[in-house]
Structure 1
């Protein structure tokens, strides 16, 4: 065989162990022997150095533990193929190269590089979502975090009022509602609330545009029937804390509303928005979360089962000898699972097929969280087909739903 006819030698592979300040990089040849090991700082100059050395070594493929960030952007801009290998897999792969189980950044970089070389057929190149989907994901996750902060602050306010102003805790349905916050701003202490009578309560509620259905006399009875809180100087000092919590809740509520408006605009402009808003009881924020967490890189999920597995709604089966165990899937995208299960749990209230599946699973003895995951898995098969064909969900074309309708009609 001539030199010209000889097969091309495989290109070197690299691994990048990501860190906060410095990143360890290893390059290995086609036999797994280290060619170079170096580290770079997490700044523009360091990333340029990393890319320059990788290209100089003729590296074509790189393994890394995370799918986003400036490092991944730099690698992709240099036309390098990126493979994401999660930290949990790296932890298990270390035993290939030694039994000590030591954790070392330089060693992990070598493991990443060598796994790309040896397990290439098992890995999938990183596919990234469009900028519109990435921006929507950032907005929906930020809103979810702010809602969690609002719940935490509301709980702190409730605990504070139970000591200093118990009558205000259960006066209205929600402690962080607009009417509750306005009440606490006007009547900051137990002493100031003593001024209220049923007539004065009705007058104040009318002045703030209260649209609740509870009679002012009932609200006044709730207020006066509660234990007496702090009065005098103690009450005035406690009012400072109350107003601080109220101010934080107002700020959080305002930012949550602003993000919700922005999310609605982004969802309306997104090419896939019509698919997810067509789902039953998906609304706006819920549809946006589903779209943002599933993404629009359709090549990431060649089958609906692959989507269900990443969402953590497909069970994990373990078999050894005569023992087979079907358990909860811990290795999953928790943000995706939360979004899918949130949708599935509420969909049964508007979709007879979803409610039928839910009731069947409950009848088999599954608890609510397990049943929701079963329903979420069924929905993901529907969503996947709509997503892949760019078709909105149409109950008239949902075969299982139509069969259920036919069965009910026959039974009637």
Structure 2
């Protein structure tokens, strides 16, 4: 850490959309410099020059605190060995109250608060992990694909709610298909027949043509007969003018769903291309229940910086799978964690759910938690995920693939 005279130097940056305020303090808390920079290449260079003026070197860079973990400014700061601390804005607000009781707020004051956070409590905060560029690229794609799936499901729910108001025949016709309204067959048929009245006039030839346009290859004739019978059944109808208006609303929403489905599929292909290139991919894919998409989501959240977690307990706490004990006086309770990485927690839930059927040892562990310990389904899955994360940490540290006999020796012996 650079020295300014006889003191250490710390930097705080108050991030904004068009400009950023920078403050530098020494180990005694004295303000050494403050500057406002623009959010462009010239501003970033001005910041780097300011740091160099106060002793920043390639081997001993000045640590920086900022309230975000992404963006071009953070990318510029993360080059080399520099430690960049992403401070939670709520935590920064609590620190602000230590220096002022008037509750006043300014951009320069916030930058000074962030610099003082490092000066006093740098040991209590964690620098951004030193992940490789490939791991960060996989993280971008995996998170985007997960967001696209969530957006697709939200639009599907909206479309389903709208169809219930005027077009129950469509919901009944697509109820036998997995993913229902998200399937290309359902979307193609809704484009051809946006209302119940128009669906009732469809011929088998028109339905077969729509199924072929959607990419369906098998069972087209039998499916066309079934769909025609459903569409021509006796259904309640809205007044014609109202039904036509609702049909136009449905088509607009269907266009958004089409775009969301395309985005989810394209991002899934991008993940399938990028994730296998990572050195940790083979280890992750060796675990039961982890495929390309789910494995990429796990890698996206834990990264490939082996110094990020001191031990397996740190990873488990980060995922929210390990329980937390709260004690006050004579009272104590053991509950689940609410502060966690939600994306990793969600991936862990799906991972444990899949591992139950993919691994005999995982299934035996789950049944033991349900039968012997009396856990509910979610609690038993969380306990299984906690164990699998511990095994993953060990395999990544030792560069070993998952081994069923080593992971669940007792469970397999009992099963045998």
TM-score by length of 1: 0.86
Going from structure 1 to structure 2, the CA distance change for 1:111 and 1:315 (only over 3 Å counts) comes to farther
Q: 1:183 & 1:101 partners in 2: Cα distance? A: 59
Matched with 1:47 is 44
Matched with 2:401 is 392
Match of 2:6 among 5, 9, 12: 9
Q: 2:302 & 2:229 partners in 1: Cα distance? A: 50
Matched with 1:324 is 332
Match of 1:189 among 195, 208, 217: 195
Q: Per-residue CA shift, 1:150-198, capped at 9, x if unaligned? A: 112222222222223221112123122122122222333322322357x
After TM superposition, the structure 1 stretch with the greater mean CA deviation from structure 2, 71-80 or 313-322, is: 71-80
Match of 1:281 among 266, 286, 289: 289
Q: 8 Å contact 1:190–1:228 — kept in the other structure?
A: no
Going from structure 1 to structure 2, the CA distance change for 1:57 and 1:372 (only over 3 Å counts) comes to same
Q: 1:402 & 1:79 partners in 2: Cα distance? A: 42
Going from structure 1 to structure 2, the CA distance change for 1:65 and 1:203 (only over 3 Å counts) comes to closer
Structure 2 counterparts to residues 393-408 of structure 1, below 5 A: 393-398=402-407, 401-408=408-415
Asked if 1:167 is matched to 2:173, the reply is no
Structure 2 counterparts to residues 201-212 of structure 1, below 5 A: 209=217, 211=219
After TM superposition, the structure 1 stretch with the greater mean CA deviation from structure 2, 15-24 or 206-215, is: 206-215
Q: 8 Å contact 1:293–1:339 — kept in the other structure?
A: no
Aligned residue-pair number: 399
Matched with 2:59 is none
Matched with 2:317 is 309
Runs (5+) with no aligned partner, structure 1: 1-7
What's the secondary structure of 1:170's corresponding residue? helix
Q: Per-residue CA shift, 1:293-313, capped at 9, x if unaligned? A: 111111111211111122222
What's the secondary structure of 1:332's corresponding residue? coil
Q: Per-residue CA shift, 1:316-360, capped at 9, x if unaligned? A: 333222222333323322222222222123211222332333334
Deviation at 1:376, TM superposition (A): 1.8
Q: CA RMSD in A?
A: 2.9
Deviation at 1:203, TM superposition (A): 6.0
What's the secondary structure of 2:186's corresponding residue? helix
Asked if 1:293 is matched to 2:301, the reply is yes
Q: 8 Å contact 2:365–2:411 — kept in the other structure?
A: no
Q: 8 Å contact 1:167–1:226 — kept in the other structure?
A: no
Structure 2 counterparts to residues 15-164 of structure 1, below 5 A: 15-58=12-55, 60-77=62-79, 80-99=82-101, 102-164=104-166
Going from structure 1 to structure 2, the CA distance change for 1:27 and 1:280 (only over 3 Å counts) comes to same
Q: 2:245 & 2:218 partners in 1: Cα distance? A: 28
Q: Per-residue CA shift, 1:350-407, capped at 9, x if unaligned? A: 2233233333444445444433332222111011111112222121332xx1221112
Q: 2:208 & 2:258 partners in 1: Cα distance? A: 24
Q: 2:125 & 2:193 partners in 1: Cα distance? A: 62
